[in-house]
Amino acid sequence: MPQILPDFSASVKLKYVKLGYQYLVNHILTFLLIPVMAGILIEVLRMGPEEMVGNVKSLRLDTVQILCSSFVIVFVSTVYFMSKPRSIYLVDYACHKPPATCRVPFATFKEHSRLILKDSPKSVDFQIRMLERSGLGEETCLPPAIHYIPPTPTMASAWGEAEVVIFSALDSLFQKTNLNPKDIDILIVNCSLFSPTPSLSAMIVNKYKLRSNIKSFNLSGMGCSAGVIPIDLARDLLQVVPNSNAVVVSTEIITPNYYQGDERAMLLPNCLFRMGGAAILLSNKKREKGRAKYKLVHVVRTHKGSDDKAYKCVFEQEDDQGKVGIRLSKDLTVIAGEALKSNITTMGPLVLPASEQLLFLFTLIGRKIFNPKWKPYIPDFKQAFEHFCIHAGGRAVIDELQKNLQLSAEHVEASRMTLHRFGNTSSSSLWYELNYIEVKGRMKKGDRVWQIGFGSGFKCNSAVWKCNRTIRTPSDGPWQECIDRYPVHIPEIVKL
């Protein structure tokens, strides 16, 4: 049948209606205050000089009242500024770039899998199918010990990987920031699976001869979301230790954790996890504000460990043959989605503009009172952030978050390209993604960045940063030699 009424969506540009609504609601206080202030100014201008003097005298303020009022104002102002949290600045950071000798092209991975698992061809085929769909590229890297056939995951080789990754990132950080290691007041290292004695933080103290009164921490067993946890810890410490520098090191040592069995749920990490690490300099010194790249705005941490299903979805254990590996549950993406919902429930009121919060509230009330079948309103987080750094844990995780948060391809580009170039580097992946955005020249002053990490436990942790200054395209870093090739098209399946 012919259409009698015109198509409303085509005849009215709803995009501009929505923009007008957002602008009106987000600036409602300004719109209300302007006429009030204008009215007061007009009344003041109508008064003559004598009338104004008379009004002031009618207040009958004596010297004692003026002094008491001044004291109260000074006291309240002092308490306010003394209790105000210290600003935490991210001065700079550096990421480890694995050497080309550690590359694992698809052909190498395929050949090594067949040689290592020669008695289990089905496991080899499974790994190859997973790699074809993983979203990884040809330049991801594994540590030298994994290149042997069979792999040699000794303690000495694990220490060797830790020294290469951590020291290279720290050396680069010290060079970029001109930081003297003696000026480090707080040191935090996170590495989930490799927790030796002495600790990795002690290894750094020994290498750089740090001060004897340094506050050092070594975090382990906290999974891929641990990249945000030391940021939260550093923030709390910098609130109580004035005029201090904190260095955070995030990494995952792959060498002792390469699974050589044939359980499929434990073979998947072999296809995803790769070498990587990052070192970050945080400071609460006011003089660092001028050169700092970012200011920390929020940290929100969500832990779903009280639920058994979530607790066991990423679990280190032995298989039937006594071989240790990480078991990934098939429900991982669903559990990650639930953890994200809990996280954004807390994050939303902190960052979303009033227009989005009102729409969410009205929809919630409508579903409760009028019709439970109403589609729930998903807040538009693009109104709160210009950039998103989603943990490059795997293609499925990125796809799920892109869908749930209604993000564009450009918003998840940094995550997809990091997964393609470096693989899943665990807790440090967020910093490779941030560096990708910077190298692309997209980071401007005032831009807001949302880092989202997922990890065992099960946890969803996120951090919000605000860009302090327009960042020039870095001339060094892990993307230096390959950024011109990115972004690249990543097919659904790469046939091997």
431 neighbors 463 (Cβ within 8 angstroms): no
424 is catalytic: yes
Active-site residue identified among 191, 420, 460, 467 = 420
Q: Which of 147, 298, 303, 482 is catalytic?
A: 303
Q: Cα–Cα distance between 216 and 336 in angstroms, integer?
A: 31
Catalytic residue among 224, 389, 460, 467: 224
- Catalytic member of 257, 343, 424, 435: 424
Q: Which of 141, 190, 257, 391 is catalytic?
A: 391
User: CA 30, CA 203: separation in Å to the nearest integer?
Assistant: 55
Q: Catalytic residue among 271, 387, 411, 468, which?
A: 387
Burial 255-290 (b: 16+ CB within 10 A, else e): bbbbbbbbbeebbbbbbbbbbbbbbbbbbbbeebee
Distance CA 235, CA 244 (A): 11
**What's the order of all strands across the beta sheet hosting 245-251?**
215-219, 186-191, 245-251, 277-283, 89-95, 294-303, 459-467, 448-455, 387-390
| N-terminal to C-terminal alpha carbon distance within the chain | 52
Is 489 assigned a catalytic role?
no
Tell me whether residue 224 is one of the annotated catalytic residues: yes
DSSP string, 387-451: EEEE--S-HHHHHHHHHHTT--TTTTHHHHHHHHHH-B-GGGHHHHHHHHHHHTT---TT-EEEE
Query: Can you state the angle between helices 121-132 and 106-116, rounded to 10 degrees?
Result: 160
Catalytic residues: 224, 303, 387, 391, 420, 424
